[in-house]
Amino acid sequence: MSQLENIQAEYEKFPEAFESVIISTVSAQAIPNASYAPFVMDDSKNIYIYVSGLSTHTKNIYANPHVSVLFIEDEAKSNLIFARRRLSFDCTATLIERETDKWNQIVEQFQGRFGEIVEVLRGLSDFRIFQLTPSEGRFVVGFGAAYQISGDNLHQLVQITGDGDKKQG
């Protein structure tokens, strides 16, 4: 397997190591907010978050559907704090309407992954499910090892070279 194939395989599995994702939102007044949410992901790399309508990030998503997400290697597992492995996506958030077939399917995935707490959340009317659809992203595996991810094909990494060019993988 080539180095790029190894990194491609690592990219495909990287989000599986996490139960939550860091989310960055912006309010109607352009004030940024960083938070996190438990998530499930589908095969198309759509990320689903199940969040309280009372939270700042949910209010921000209603005001501005552009969301950035970050999966980042645990500091304790990183060999070099300046080069932690990380995956980020620029996304657009869409509300999944309650009690639709899709909403029920996503809630079942949350319940399978996180257990009984989801049954409690299901009964709370302020909780919402948003689909975060990536338009592009970046996977960084170390110094000089960054890969662009395009919305055309979220499964294809393109290496970013030092001179600003991109090499197709």
The type of residue at 134 is: P
53 vs 122: CA distance, rounded Å: 13
Q: Which residues are CB-contacts of 21 (< 8 A; sequence separation ≥ 6)? A: 15, 36, 37, 39, 47, 49, 69, 70, 71
Give the pTM.
Answer: 0.91
pLDDT value of position 1? 72
Asked whether the predicted pLDDT for residue 33 surpasses 90, the reply is yes
Position 160 scores a pLDDT of: 85
Angle, vertex CA 88, rays to CA 142 and CA 68, nearest 5:
150
What per-residue confidence (pLDDT) applies to 166? 53
Rounded percentage of the chain residues whose pLDDT exceeds 70: 95
Region 72-92 average pLDDT = 94
